Amino acid sequence: MTTLDATRAELALLVLYLNKAEARDKICRAIQYGSKFLSNGEPGTAANVDKSTSLARKVFRLFKFVNDLHALISPLPQGTPLPIVVLGKSKNALISTFLFLDQIVWLGRTGIYKNKERADLLGRISLFCWMGSSVCGTLVELAELGRLSSLMKKIEKDLKNSEKYQNEEYKAKLKQSNARTLALVKSAIDVFVAIGLLQLAPKKVTPRVTGALGFTTSLISCYQLLPSPVKSKTT
Pick left, alpha or beta for residue 105 (phi over 0 → left; psi -120 to 50 → alpha; otherwise beta): alpha
Mean pLDDT of the chain: 89
Percentage of the residues of the chain whose pLDDT score is greater than 90: 61
Residue 180 CA: distances (Å) to CA of 14, 71, 74, 161 = 24, 18, 21, 27
> What is the pTM (predicted TM-score) of this model?
0.88
Measure the CA–CA gap between 183 and 11, rounded to whole angstroms.
Answer: 27
Measure the CA–CA gap between 175 and 166, rounded to whole angstroms.
Answer: 13
Report pLDDT for 161: 66
Percentage of the residues of the chain whose pLDDT score is greater than 70: 96
Report pLDDT for 231: 53
Q: What is the CB neighbour count within 10 angstroms for residue 98?
A: 24
Residue 22 CA: distances (Å) to CA of 64, 79, 139 = 10, 30, 24
Report pLDDT for 175: 93
Provide DSSP, 37-61: HHHTT-SSHHHHHHHHHHHHHHHHT
Look at 23 and 228; give whichever has higher pLDDT: 23
Measure the CA–CA gap between 81 and 143, rounded to whole angstroms.
Answer: 9
Residue 88 CA: distances (Å) to CA of 133, 174, 179, 182 = 9, 22, 17, 17
Measure the CA–CA gap between 57 and 143, rounded to whole angstroms.
Answer: 31
pLDDT single digits (tens) 27-78: 999 999 999 999 998 999 999 999 999 988 888 888 888 988 888 888 878 8
Model confidence band, residue 10 (pLDDT cutoffs 50, 70, 90): confident
Report pLDDT for 229: 59
Question: 42: which DSSP letter?
Answer: -
pLDDT single digits (tens) 139-179: 999 999 999 999 999 888 888 767 888 888 888 999 999 99
